[in-house]
Amino acid sequence: MRNSILTSKRAWLLMAALVMVLVLAAACSSDGDEDDGGSTAAPAPTSVPAAPAPTSAAAAPAPAAAPAPTAAPIQAPVATEPVVNRVVIGNPAPSTEGNNPNIELGPLTTFQIGPTFEYLIGYDPATGDLVPQLATEWSVEPDGISTRFKLREGVQFHDGSEFSAADVVFTHAQIVSDDSLHAISRRYKLATIEVINDFEIVFKLSRANAEALKQISEQVGGLEIESSAGFAANGRPTLTGSPLAGTGAYQFKERVQGQNVVFEAVPYDHWRYTPDFPELEYRWMGEASTRLAALLTDEIHLTQLPEDSIPQAESEGMKLISGTLSGQRVFLSFKGAYLDSKSSCGYVHCDSPFLDRNVRQALNRAIDRDELNQAFFGGKGQKMVMNHIPPTASYWNTDWDRDFDANWGFDPAAARTLLAESGYNSDNPLEVGVEITTHAQYGQSADVLEIIAGYWSDIDVKANLLTIDTAANRSNTRAFNYKDHIGFAATASFDIQGWRVYNSHVVPRGGSLELINTGALIDQLQAEMDAAKQNVLLREIGDLAFGEYMGIYLYWIPAQLVINPEFVASYNFPGSLSAIWTHYELLKAVKK
């Protein structure tokens, strides 16, 4: 009876979700299925036989007169100026407004003055790999924990001073100051900077930290390099003034608190790129309906919109674009297997069902990911073959793609067989607790969890739907009180951080599966500073994790923007991790 009720509820939820997707799709579709309105294509012409050759010179036709020469066509001038000088981005206001990135802000809020700053290390928007920016190269020191940077010469700050090692030292001092509110200030306090000369420094760490390079890079958004000369002349910036000078291709122009921030292209040849738009503005708009209306009336030129607003925007000629990198992801975590070196079995709960590989694989094989994707993600979810590691990673293993469906794909019969091999059946069902939560970054999480619980009920798993107070759930999770719970996650992080946070014995813990074999490799990864060796370890961890079924992998969710194609030609933004607003050199204008 319980199974029939769950199956019925699942069918209702799926039908409701699919109807919503179809309604939204219909709002922006054409009248017919074919682009040509349903007409049939003309048949391909058959070959025409050549005309017979004349039999005599007399019969040959007279040659045609040569056509009179015509004047060369006049070439249209090449469009070079943007249709609008200022590109306007509509965005909800940051939680904190400020002009001092290394004191007042952090990775999630620095975007508001991001166009003015650069970093020692950038990242490739196509692959996510770290690339030189204000540092031309870097290498791990013989001690294995420090990194030597060679700095770029001839880079100008907006205030006219020249970038050097002194500016890196100054910026670091700001972020570690006693009154710094920066979100990851404590991590920077583990480092000191040794100046070798004006264009060479060594970042010295108190211990190895494999995440250090990404934490100071453009990818995460930390250590925005500020002008020490500007500070000496003007002191700390305030919200009513200007930020300290950076080295970006845009410089600060003006801010109206609670309303907007405006930037302008620097009046000299920037060392890295020349912006297509002479000015760039962030305009703060909290309501999605306000952003949509502003986009349709040309007040703004690009923005983020929720899924239910996108069809109307597209029907009015707007264009939906996606980020080039997979950053946001949706997955379920096994909560019950936690490492414990003092335990006889090596884990906190020796009787957790999630220590059984068959159980983890069976729960994956019972889920119809294609059905879920269409019903709740509009078909836009990219199947997650491996958690924490995006498919664009240079060390990606294509065998994971090849073997996913055969090992992880939807097959209820195979799932039942796996459970039977471990002693579970309708008379002795596997029992799990499914935490029904509404996630801040994905509002339909509760519905998705209920549907998945229904899939598991179909293979005779007793899936108990649990609604737990958020604070109590967090406390119980951190205390390792759960041995058979499954939780929902929608988050973004880079590869090394993801394995540490979700699948290692390093705090924070309790939210996902920890295994002895993968844990040893993750520990090794955390102590490795060399990027090439990190990639080797990440590949090894991925290979192990693929065969261990370390979570319920669902989808990578592409970051999406809506642009007005009358003004913005393209924007190949990466769209990952801390913010989507990066790589302004890729923001291309429609020219007139």
pLDDT tens readout for residues 99-141: 998 888 887 788 999 999 999 999 898 888 889 999 999 999 9
* 551 pLDDT tier (thresholds 50, 70, 90): very high
Picking from 105, 174, 553, 157, the residue whose alpha carbon sits closest to that of residue 332 is: 553
Residue 57 inside a domain? The answer is no
Neighbouring C-alpha atoms within 13 Å toward the C-beta of 552:
30
Q: Are residues 399 and 492 in the same domain?
A: yes
Q: Residue 507 is encoded by which pair of tokens? A: 């705090």
Give the whole-angstrom CA distance, residue 394 versus residue 400. 14
- Phi, psi of 581, rounded to the nearest 5 degrees: -90, 85
Cα–Cα distance measured from residue 570 to residue 538, given in angstroms and rounded to the nearest whole number: 33
Q: Is residue 40 part of a domain?
A: no
Cis peptide before 508 (omega within 30 of 0): yes
Residue 95's pLDDT is 84
Q: Which of 56-60, 194-198, 222-226, 560-564 has the lowest mean pLDDT?
A: 56-60
Q: Is residue 161 part of a domain?
A: yes
One domain for residues 505 and 358: yes
User: What secondary structure letter does DSSP report for 568?
Assistant: E
CA 87, CA 32: separation in Å to the nearest integer? 35
Q: What is the mean pLDDT of residues 268-289?
A: 95
Q: What is the dihedral of CA 366, 368, 372, 378, to 10 degrees?
A: 160
Highest mean pLDDT among 66-75, 184-193, 574-583: 184-193
Using the predicted structure, report yes or no on whether residue 264 has a pLDDT greater than 80.
Answer: yes
Amino acid letter at 23? V
Q: Tell me: the pLDDT tens digits for 466-506?
A: 998 888 998 999 999 999 999 999 888 889 999 999 999 98
Q: Is the pLDDT of residue 528 over 80?
A: yes
**In-domain check, residue 104:** yes
Nearest-angstrom CA–CA distance, 111 and 115 = 8
The answer on pLDDT for 163 being more than 90 is: yes
pLDDT tens across 41-82, in order? 333 333 333 333 333 333 334 444 445 555 556 666 667 899
Q: What are phi and psi of 79, to 5 degrees?
A: -70, 125
Distance CA 550, CA 333 (A): 8
Q: Is residue 86 in some structural domain?
A: no
Here the tokens at position 225 are 């390099």
Together in a domain, 337 and 190: no
Q: What is the pLDDT of residue 579?
A: 66
Q: Are strands 319-322 and 568-571 parallel, antiparallel or unpaired?
A: unpaired
Of 221, 247, 273, which residue sits at a domain end?
Answer: 247
Cα separation of 25 and 18, whole Å?
A: 10
Res. 40 pLDDT band, cuts 50 70 90:
very low
In total, how many domains does the chain have? 2
Which residue in this structure is represented by tokens 């990606």?
396
CATH of the domain at 391: 3.10.105.10
Residue 184 has what pLDDT? Answer: 78
Mark whether 505 and 385 lie in a shared domain.
Answer: yes
Residue 116 lies in a domain: yes
Inform me whether the pLDDT recorded for 261 exceeds 90.
yes
pLDDT, one tens digit per residue, over 312-362 is: 999 999 999 988 887 688 999 999 999 999 999 999 999 999 999 999 999
Residues above pLDDT 90, as percent of the chain:
65
> Residue 512 is part of which domain span?
327-557
Place 5 in a pLDDT band, splitting at 50, 70 and 90.
very low
220 and 355 both lie in a single domain: no
Same domain, 228 and 343: no
36: Cβ–Cβ under 8 A, 6 or more apart, which residues? Answer: none
Domain-embedded: residue 454? yes
